[in-house]
Structure 1
Amino acid sequence: MQAVLYVSHGTRLPEGKREAIRFIETVQQQIDVSLQEISFLELSSPTIAEGVAHLVSQGATAISVVPVLLLSAKHYHEDIPYELEQLKERYPQLHFTYGRPLGVQPRLIHILEERIREQQVFHSKTKVIVVGRGSKDPQTKKDIECIAASLAQQLDIKSVDYCFLAACHPSFDEALAEAVRSQASQVMVVPYLWFNGLLIRSMQKKINALNKEGLRFILCGHLGHHPNIQEALIDRVNESFQRTFHLKAHV
Structure 2
Amino acid sequence: MISGLFDKLDSNIGILIIGHGSRNSHATDEFATLAERIKASLSNIPVEYGYLEFSCPTIANALDTLRGNSVKKVIALPAMLFAAGHAKNDIPAVLNDYSLKTGLEIIYGRELGIDNSMVCAAGERIKESINSKSEFPLNKTLLVVVGRGSSDPDANSNVSKLTRMLVESFGFAWGETVYSGVTFPLVEPGLRKLVKLGFSRIVVFPYFLFSGVLVSRIRKYVQLVALDNPDIEFINAGYLGNHSKVRETFISRISEAFTGENTMNCSLCKYRSNLLGFESEVGLPQVSHHNHVEGLMQSCNLCEIECTGECDSQEKTSLNEHEHEHEHPIYPHSQHPFGPVTLRNSKRT
**Do they fold alike, i.e. is TM over 0.5?**
yes
Q: Does 1:72 align with 2:72?
A: no
Choose from 140, 145, 151 the match for 1:136. Answer: 151
Q: Any gaps of 5 or more consecutive residues in structure 1?
A: none
Q: How far did 1:151 drift?
A: 0.9
Deviations 1:169-228 (A, max 9, x none): 121122211123233211110111011111111112222333344242111000112211
Corresponding position of 2:281: none
Q: Does 1:81 align with 2:92?
A: yes
> Counterpart of 1:29 in 2: which secondary structure?
helix
> Counterpart of 1:37 in 2: which secondary structure?
strand
Larger C-alpha radius of gyration, 1 or 2?
Answer: 2
Cα distance change on mapping 1:109 and 1:118 into 2, 3 Å: same
Count of residues in correspondence between the two structures: 246
* Residue identity matched to 1:105: D
Q: Counterparts of 1:5 and 1:107 in 2: how far apart (Å)?
A: 21
| 4+ residue runs over 4 A deviation | none
Corresponding position of 1:53: 64
Q: Is the 8 A contact 1:97 1:242 kept in 2?
A: no
> Counterpart of 1:241 in 2: which secondary structure?
helix
**Higher share of residues assigned strand:** 1
Q: Does 1:5 align with 2:30?
A: no
Q: Counterparts of 1:217 and 1:43 in 2: how far apart (Å)?
A: 33
> Counterpart of 1:160 in 2: which secondary structure?
strand
Q: Is the 8 A contact 1:116 1:190 kept in 2?
A: yes
Q: Counterparts of 2:70 and 2:257 in 1: how far apart (Å)?
A: 20
> Counterpart of 1:222 in 2: which secondary structure?
coil
Q: How far did 1:116 drift?
A: 2.0
> Counterpart of 1:3 in 2: which secondary structure?
strand
Q: Counterparts of 2:77 and 2:116 in 1: how far apart (Å)?
A: 21
* Residue identity matched to 1:239: E
Q: How far did 1:114 drift?
A: 2.0
Q: How far did 1:33 drift?
A: 4.0
> Counterpart of 1:65 in 2: which secondary structure?
strand
Corresponding position of 1:225: 242
Choose from 110, 115, 119 the match for 1:105. Answer: 115
Choose from 245, 251, 265 the match for 1:234. Answer: 251
Q: Does 1:180 align with 2:195?
A: yes
Identity of aligned residues (%): 27
Q: Any gaps of 5 or more consecutive residues in structure 2?
A: 1-11, 263-284, 288-349
Cα distance change on mapping 1:218 and 1:58 into 2, 3 Å: same
Cα distance change on mapping 1:113 and 1:242 into 2, 3 Å: closer
Select between 14-23 and 235-244 the one with higher mean Cα deviation: 235-244
Q: How far did 1:249 drift?
A: 8.6
* Residue identity matched to 2:164: A
Deviations 1:50-102 (A, max 9, x none): 1112222222211111111111111111111100111011112x111111111
> Counterpart of 2:81 in 1: which secondary structure?
coil
* Residue identity matched to 1:106: N
Q: Counterparts of 1:182 and 1:99 in 2: how far apart (Å)?
A: 41
Q: Is the 8 A contact 2:15 2:74 kept in 1?
A: yes
TM-score, with structure 1 as normaliser:
0.91
Q: Is the 8 A contact 2:89 2:286 kept in 1?
A: no
Give 1:71-220 correspondences, 5 Å limit. 71-92=82-103, 94-119=104-129, 120=131, 121=133, 122-123=136-137, 124-213=139-228, 214=230, 215-220=232-237
